[in-house]
Structure 1
Amino acid sequence: MPTRTPANTPPPLDADTRKRLLAGTHHDPHAVLGAHPAPGGVTVRVLRPYARAVSLLVEGRTVELADEGDGLFSVLLPLAEAPAYRLRITYDGRDSETEDPYRFLPALGELDLHLIAEGRHEELWTALGAHPMTHQGVTGTRFTVWAPNALGVRVCGEFCCWDGTAHPMRSLGSSGVWELFVPGIGEGALYKFDITRPDGTHTVRADPMARRTEVPPATASVVTRSAHVWTDDAWMSRRAEHPAHRSPMSVYEVHLPSWRPGLGYRELAGELTAYVTDMGFTHVEFMPVSEHPFGGSWGYQVTGFYAPTSRLGTPDDLRYLIDTLHRAGIGVIMDWVPAHFPKDDWALAEFDGRPLYEPGDTRRAEHPDWGTLTFDYGRTEVRNFLVANASYWFEEFHVDGLRVDAVASMLYLDYSREEGGWTPNEHGGRENLDAVAFLQEMNATVYRRYPGIVTLAEESTAWEGVTRATHHTGSDGFGGLGFGLKWNMGWMHDSLEYIRHEPVHRQYHHGELTFSMVYAYSENYLLPISHDEVVHGKQSLVSKMPGDWWQQRANHRAYLAYMWAHPGKQLLFMGQEFAQGAEWSEAHGPDWWLLDPAYGAEPDHRGVRDLVRDLNLRYSATPALWERDTDPGGFRWVEADAAQDNVLAFLRFGTDGAPLLAVSNFSPVVRHGYPVGVPRAAGAWREVLNTDAARYGGGDVGNPGALSALPGPLGAFPARLLLTLPPLATVWLRPE
Structure 2
Amino acid sequence: MIAEELLDRVAAGAYHAPHDVLGLHEGRDAAGRSFWWVRARRPLAQTVTAVFADGETVPLAHVRAGIWEGRRSGRPEAYELETSYADDSGYTADDPYRHLPTVGEFDLHLIGEGRHERLWEVLGARVREDDGTRGTAFAVWAPDAQAVRVVGDFNAWDGAGHAMRSLGSSGIWELFVPAVDVGAVYKYEILTPDGEWILKADPLARLAETPPSTGSVVTSSSYIWGDGGWMTDRGVAQPANRPMSVYEMHVGSWRPGLGYRELAEPLIAHMHELGFTHVEFLPLAEHPFGGSWGYQVSGYYAPTSRYGRPDDLRYLIDELHQAGIGVILDWVPGHFPKDGFALGRFDGRPVYEHPDPRRGEHKDWGTYIFDYGRNEVRNFLVANALYWLDEFHVDGLRVDAVASMLYLDYSREDGEWEPNVHGGRENLEAIRFLQETNATAYRLHPGVAMIAEESTSFPGVTAPTSEGGLGFGFKWNMGWMNDSLVYIERDPMYRAHHAGELSFSFVYAFSENFILPISHDEVVHGKGSLLSKMPGDHWRKLANTRAYLAYMWSHPGKQLLFMGQEFGQLSEWSESRGLDWWLLDQPSHRQLQDFVGALGRTYGDHPALWARDGDADAFRRLGAPEWNPDVLAFCREDGDGGMLVSVCNFGGNPVDGMTLDLPRPGAWREVLNSDAAAYGGSGVGNLGRIHADSDGRARLTVPPLGVLWLVPD
Q: TM-score, normalised by structure 2?
A: 0.97
C-alpha contact (below 8 Å) 1:144/1:177 kept by paired residues: yes
- What residue number does 1:722 align with? 699
Greater shift in the superposed pair: 47-56 or 101-110: 47-56
Alpha-carbon separation, structure 1, partners of 2:324 and 2:600: 14
Opposite residue 182 of structure 1, the aligned amino acid is V
- What residue number does 2:37 align with? 43
- What residue number does 1:7 align with? none
Alpha-carbon separation, structure 1, partners of 2:55 and 2:516: 73
Task: Determine which of 520, 540, 562 is the counterpart of 1:573.
Answer: 562
Q: Cα deviation per residue 1:413-441 (whole Å; 9 max; x = unaligned)? A: 00001111110000010000000000000
- What residue number does 1:428 align with? 423
Indicate the RMSD between aligned Cα atoms, in angstroms: 1.6
Task: Determine which of 586, 594, 607 is the counterpart of 1:610.
Answer: 594
Opposite residue 79 of structure 2, the aligned amino acid is Y
| In the alignment, structure 1 residue 295 sits paired with structure 2 residue 290 | yes
Q: How does 1:439-454 map to 2 (within 5 A)?
A: 439-454=434-449
Query: Aligned to 2:207, what secondary structure does the other structure show?
Result: coil
CA shift for structure 1 position 67: 3.5
Task: Determine which of 503, 507, 510 is the counterpart of 2:499.
Answer: 510
Alpha-carbon separation, structure 1, partners of 2:381 and 2:447: 21
- What residue number does 2:679 align with? 696
Alpha-carbon separation, structure 1, partners of 2:590 and 2:72: 85
| In the alignment, structure 1 residue 651 sits paired with structure 2 residue 628 | no
C-alpha contact (below 8 Å) 1:642/1:648 kept by paired residues: no
- What residue number does 2:397 align with? 402
Alpha-carbon separation, structure 1, partners of 2:11 and 2:58: 24
Distance 1:587 1:78, change over 3 A: closer
Q: Cα deviation per residue 1:166-208 (whole Å; 9 max; x = unaligned)? A: 0111111211111111111111111111111111111111110
| In the alignment, structure 1 residue 15 sits paired with structure 2 residue 10 | no
Alpha-carbon separation, structure 1, partners of 2:687 and 2:625: 27
CA shift for structure 1 position 39: 5.3
C-alpha contact (below 8 Å) 1:116/1:381 kept by paired residues: yes
- What residue number does 1:5 align with? none
Greater shift in the superposed pair: 24-33 or 685-694: 24-33
| In the alignment, structure 1 residue 669 sits paired with structure 2 residue 664 | no
5+ residue gaps, structure 2: 30-34
CA shift for structure 1 position 396: 0.4
Q: How does 1:44-443 map to 2 (within 5 A)?
A: 44-49=38-43, 51=45, 53-58=47-52, 60=55, 63-68=58-63, 70=65, 72-90=66-84, 92-443=87-438
Greater shift in the superposed pair: 22-31 or 550-559: 22-31
Alpha-carbon separation, structure 2, partners of 1:628 and 1:618: 16
C-alpha contact (below 8 Å) 1:507/1:643 kept by paired residues: no
- What residue number does 2:484 align with? 495
C-alpha contact (below 8 Å) 2:14/2:160 kept by paired residues: no
Alpha-carbon separation, structure 1, partners of 2:426 and 2:626: 41
Distance 1:182 1:633, change over 3 A: same
5+ residue gaps, structure 1: 1-10, 473-478, 712-717
| In the alignment, structure 1 residue 731 sits paired with structure 2 residue 708 | yes
Q: Cα deviation per residue 1:600-648 (whole Å; 9 max; x = unaligned)? A: 1x2x111110011000000000010001101001110014998854111
Distance 1:726 1:388, change over 3 A: same
CA shift for structure 1 position 81: 4.5
Query: Aligned to 1:87, what secondary structure does the other structure show?
Result: strand
- What residue number does 1:707 align with? 690
Distance 1:514 1:142, change over 3 A: same
C-alpha contact (below 8 Å) 1:24/1:196 kept by paired residues: no
C-alpha contact (below 8 Å) 2:62/2:69 kept by paired residues: no
CA shift for structure 1 position 722: 1.2
C-alpha contact (below 8 Å) 1:65/1:73 kept by paired residues: no
CA shift for structure 1 position 46: 1.5
Distance 1:500 1:106, change over 3 A: same
Opposite residue 74 of structure 1, the aligned amino acid is W
Q: Kindly, what percent of the aligned residue pairs are identical?
A: 59
Task: Determine which of 542, 545, 566 is the counterpart of 1:556.
Answer: 545
C-alpha contact (below 8 Å) 2:42/2:68 kept by paired residues: no
Alpha-carbon separation, structure 2, partners of 1:692 and 1:300: 39
| In the alignment, structure 1 residue 542 sits paired with structure 2 residue 531 | yes
Q: TM-score, normalised by structure 1?
A: 0.94
Opposite residue 31 of structure 1, the aligned amino acid is D
CA shift for structure 1 position 242: 2.5
- What residue number does 1:6 align with? none
Greater shift in the superposed pair: 376-385 or 56-65: 56-65
Query: Aligned to 1:402, what secondary structure does the other structure show?
Result: strand
CA shift for structure 1 position 105: 1.1
C-alpha contact (below 8 Å) 1:291/1:308 kept by paired residues: yes
| In the alignment, structure 1 residue 637 sits paired with structure 2 residue 621 | yes
Alpha-carbon separation, structure 2, partners of 1:637 and 1:364: 45
Query: Aligned to 1:65, what secondary structure does the other structure show?
Result: strand
CA shift for structure 1 position 369: 1.9
Alpha-carbon separation, structure 2, partners of 1:63 and 1:498: 85
C-alpha contact (below 8 Å) 1:292/1:302 kept by paired residues: yes
Distance 1:506 1:280, change over 3 A: same
Q: Cα deviation per residue 1:322-358 (whole Å; 9 max; x = unaligned)? A: 0000000000000000000001111100111110100
CA shift for structure 1 position 443: 0.4
C-alpha contact (below 8 Å) 1:534/1:583 kept by paired residues: yes
| In the alignment, structure 1 residue 533 sits paired with structure 2 residue 522 | yes
Distance 1:178 1:703, change over 3 A: same
Greater shift in the superposed pair: 399-408 or 146-155: 146-155
Query: Aligned to 1:704, what secondary structure does the other structure show?
Result: coil
CA shift for structure 1 position 705: 3.7
C-alpha contact (below 8 Å) 1:217/1:293 kept by paired residues: yes
Greater shift in the superposed pair: 14-23 or 428-437: 14-23
Alpha-carbon separation, structure 1, partners of 2:706 and 2:63: 86
C-alpha contact (below 8 Å) 1:37/1:81 kept by paired residues: no
CA shift for structure 1 position 735: 1.1
C-alpha contact (below 8 Å) 2:625/2:660 kept by paired residues: no
Q: Cα deviation per residue 1:442-471 (whole Å; 9 max; x = unaligned)? A: 000000001111100000000000000001
C-alpha contact (below 8 Å) 1:501/1:546 kept by paired residues: yes
- What residue number does 2:32 align with? none
C-alpha contact (below 8 Å) 2:524/2:572 kept by paired residues: yes
Give the length in aligned residue pairs: 706
C-alpha contact (below 8 Å) 1:526/1:570 kept by paired residues: yes
Opposite residue 607 of structure 2, the aligned amino acid is P
C-alpha contact (below 8 Å) 1:510/1:643 kept by paired residues: no
CA shift for structure 1 position 73: 3.2
Greater shift in the superposed pair: 93-102 or 180-189: 93-102
Alpha-carbon separation, structure 1, partners of 2:596 and 2:500: 26
Opposite residue 179 of structure 2, the aligned amino acid is G
Distance 1:160 1:642, change over 3 A: farther
C-alpha contact (below 8 Å) 1:254/1:573 kept by paired residues: yes
